[in-house]
Amino acid sequence: MQQIYLDHNATTPVDKEVLEAMLPLFRDAFGNPSSAHARGRAARVCLDQAREQVAALIGAHPVEITFTSGGTESDNLAITGTARALKNKGNHIITSRVEHPAVLNTCEELRKEGFDIGYVPVDSHGRIDCSALADLITDETTLITLQHGNSEVGTLQPIEKIGELARARGVLFHTDAVQTVSKIAVDTQILPVDLLSLSAHKMYGPKGVGALYIRRGTPPLSPLISGGGQEKKRRGGTENVPGIVGLGKAAEIAQSRLESDQSRVSELRNDLRRQIESRIPGARFYGHPEFCLPNTLYLGFDGVEGQTLMIHLDLSGIFVSTGTACSSGSILPSEVLGAMAVPESEMVQTIRISLGRGNQTEDMTRVSDALEKAVLEIRSKTGFSAGAVPK
Ligand SMILES: Cc1ncc(COP(=O)(O)O)c(C=O)c1O
């Protein structure tokens, strides 16, 4: 059975060229970039090249790129590093309830340290209310941290507006762009952001490596990991050279195919949505209809539990994710949907389909066939009548 992977917002397969670029770093080119001899210098050259590749993808200067262990660490460094460094200036940080746990839990830890965390509300599509944001900023606010694209429903935030607002009020702005870098254009020369997180495994690179963009002129962050002075003392520890080289190569490939990937994947996504709408009654779609990641479809079907649907699809070799998380044996509804005021009865009925480079036009028909079959089967078992579909 041909498998269809539709969970690219969770992670992506490593591109063959990325793997090829990484392999020599495990073999002969194993030097420590801090060593002064030829092997060390060769590793340093690899790091420098990767820094240039990542910088080029987001319109940055290489000195503005700090390598980390991934999106989670980049978010932690940006938020905690800024909050602690600017503690004397103020103790107020603004975020939202639709952020990734890497941001939400970092803010929660800061709250325990005595910081005051403000949450800006979102509308029913999960989009930030900019006038509410303006009202939340106080003289104590040092940082606004709001994501660029939502990993679950795909909604894009108005980060140009948010950044302008932050600048006008003298507040630093961090955006978690883990889901947008490589999917849509992200240019730090245009976007008014001071700090930006990205992660390799969301862009056909390896897991466990990412970067934080820190605009030149941003006050020094308090490092989270002290050590031998690597990454300009922003992040101690011998660099993950193979991973960083993989990130660099992934960034170079993403830059060269950005526009073609974006239009191809959004066409597939739109085609799939049309097929679902025309074939399966009682389908609901979430996220912003216009400002949305090109690859993401977040949807639910009346009378069909998301977990059950995901298992049915899994058995057909189609891999999607659900809007609920399993924790200690209980099913927890998504916080993102909660912030969007989606009723709890709907929350448990959702799945996320996130497309990527490997998906083909013909896959979309197989996916809508499998969805239709699974939805009908589940509804017939639970006695749900499609004729009684609420609008
Ligand atoms: C928006 C967002 N931020 C941060 C992360 C965490 O990135 P990483 O898995 O590289 O730690 C993810 C991963 O799912 C994400 O989607």
Domain final position from 237, 254, 271: 254
248 lines ligand 1 (CB under 6 A): no
* Domain CATH for 54: 3.40.640.10
Q: Structurally, how many domains does the chain consist of?
A: 2
**Protein residue closest via CA to atom 16 of ligand 1:** 151
Calpha distance 23→128 (Å, rounded) = 43
**Cα–Cα distances in angstroms (integers) from residue 331 to residues 81, 226, 307, in the given order:** 33, 38, 9
Express the helix, strand and coil content of the chain in percent, nearest 5 each.
45, 20, 40
Token pair, residue 199, equals: 């992660």
176 in contact with ligand 1, CB cutoff 6 A: yes
Q: 116 with 27, same domain?
A: yes
Residues 239 and 303 in one domain: no
Q: What is the pLDDT of residue 1?
A: 81
> Do 65 and 209 belong together in one domain?
yes
Q: Residue 331 above 80 pLDDT? A: no
Mark whether 46 is an active-site residue: no
- Helix axis angle, 241-279 relative to 38-57, nearest 10°? 30
Percent of the chain with pLDDT over 70: 96
Whether residues 218 and 264 fall in one domain: no
Nearest ligand 1 atom to the CA of 209 is 10
Instruction: Say if residue 227's pLDDT is above 70.
Output: yes
Please compute the mean of the pLDDT values over residues 144-152 and round it to a whole number.
97
Q: Judge if 51 and 129 occupy the same domain.
A: yes
Using the predicted structure, report yes or no on whether residue 329 has a pLDDT greater than 60.
Answer: no
In terms of domains, do 116 and 219 share one?
A: yes
Same domain? 247 vs 264? no
* Whether 246 and 278 share a structural domain: no
Report yes or no: 241 and 235 within 8 Å, Cβ to Cβ: no
Ligand 1 center–CA 209 separation, angstroms? 11
| Domain final position from 194, 225, 254 | 254
**What pLDDT, on a 0 to 100 scale, did the predictor assign at position 391?**
43
DSSP type of residue 292: B
Ligand 1 nearest-atom number relative to CA 73: 11
Q: Say what the pLDDT of residue 360 is.
A: 97
Residue from 75, 178, 209, 244 to probe ligand 1 pocket by mutation (most atoms less than 8 Å from CB): 178
- Closest C-alpha residue for ligand 1 atom 7: 71
Residues 131 and 65 in one domain: yes
Q: Which of 274, 365, 253, 369 has its CA nearest to residue 312? A: 369
> For residue 324, what pLDDT band results from cuts at 50, 70 and 90?
low
| C-alpha span between 223 and 212 (Å, rounded) | 12
Per-residue pLDDT of 80-129, as tens digits, reads 999 999 999 999 999 999 999 999 999 999 999 999 999 999 999 999 99
Considering the domain architecture, whether residues 250 and 262 belong to the same structural domain is answered as no
The residue written with tokens 């820190």 in the block is 214
User: Which position among 46, 107, 292, 326 bears the catalytic label?
Assistant: 326
Judge if the beta carbon of residue 199 lies within 6 A of ligand 1.
yes
Q: Which of 179, 203, 296 to mutate to test the pocket of ligand 1 (most atoms within 8 A of CB)?
A: 179
Q: Average of pLDDT values for 36-61?
A: 97
**Three-state secondary structure call for residue 8:** coil
Residue 224 pLDDT > 50: yes
The CATH number of residue 325's host domain is 3.90.1150.10
Ligand 1 center from residue 102 Cα (angstroms): 7
**Per-residue pLDDT tens for 155-181?**
999 999 999 999 999 999 999 999 999
**Cβ neighbours for 211, distance < 8 A, ≥ 6 positions apart:** 54, 65, 66, 67, 68, 74, 197, 198, 247
Ligand 1 neighbour 147 (Cβ under 6 A)? yes
Give 289: exposed, middle or buried? Use CB within 10 Å, 0-12, 13-18, 19+: exposed
Q: Which of 204, 232, 254 finishes a domain?
A: 254
Tell me the average pLDDT across 41-54. Answer: 98
Amino acid at 289: P
Strands 195-199 and 296-301: unpaired
Neighbours of 147 (CB within 10 A): 28
Is the CB of 303 inside a 6 Å radius of any atom of ligand 1? no
Nearest Cα residue to atom 5 of ligand 1? 71
pLDDT at 390 over 90: no
Q: What is the rounded distance in angstroms from the CA atom of residue 52 to the CA atom of residue 32? A: 19
Within 10 angstroms of residue 44's Cβ, the number of other Cβ atoms is 18
Domain range holding 243?
Answer: 16-254
CB 321 within 8 A of CB 310: yes
Helix, strand counts (H, E) of the chain? 11, 15
Per residue in 230-262, pLDDT tens? 999 999 999 999 999 999 999 999 999 999 999
Q: Where are the beta strands (DSSP E) in 178-312?
A: 195-199, 210-214, 283-286, 296-301
Query: What does the pLDDT look like over 261-313, one tens digit per residue?
Result: 999 999 999 999 999 999 999 999 999 999 999 999 999 999 999 999 999 99
Are residue 27 and residue 169 in the same domain, yes or no? Answer: yes
Query: Are 243 and 264 part of one and the same domain?
Result: no
75 Cα nearest atom in ligand 1 = 4
Residue to substitute in 12, 97, 100 for testing ligand 1 pocket (most ligand atoms within 8 angstroms of CB): 100
